[in-house]
Amino acid sequence: MRSHLPALLTLAGVASACQRDLVLSPRHTHRKPITRRADDVWPPVLTEHETTLVNAFDNVTIDEWSDYYGHQVKLAGLGKEAAQWTADQWTKNGFDAHLNEYHVYLTYPVHASLQITYENGTTADVRLDEDVLDEDDVTGREDNQPTFHGYSASGNVTGEYVYVGRGSQADFDRLVELGVELEGKIALA
């Protein structure tokens, strides 16, 4: 039993994540509902904040930001410089922006791998990194982040997988309606 504990914990985590959308009770969120404007004036009359946002950015700025972000470390807990740069850019464009620092627990992998076992018993190792493209200097960087799930337990999980779309309640309802067996499966969204 002890040797199966990591695999069981990982499977329980995946099952919990998949089941989350099956819970029918309402969940608390900090999101406010999006409401449609009451006026049908064209062109729309923008609020002060909307005007600032519309006038602050253009295609060149968006391209520069995209290039900057593509070349930054974006792993949780790292890359504070990029966060500060973002706050500075928002401030330069008329917004009140600041950083809040949080201390959270996050594990980082020592090793990660994925292997598919086919029905006939043959196996195939799956690459967990993207191809290096000559036209995209970001793909070949030495400091690219590894592919991993930060809150997964170490272990070996084996099972059939089921593609669940985006993993929404409607996706699961459709799979149940189609008679797709979900219990004991690995859900891929």
- Local mean pLDDT, 10-residue blocks, the chain (189 residues): 58 56 54 66 83 82 87 82 91 88 82 87 90 86 79 82 93 95 91
Q: Which residues of 98-121 are buried (b: 16+ CB within 10 A; e: fewer)?
A: eeeeeeeeeeeeeeeeeeeeeeee
**Model pTM?**
0.50
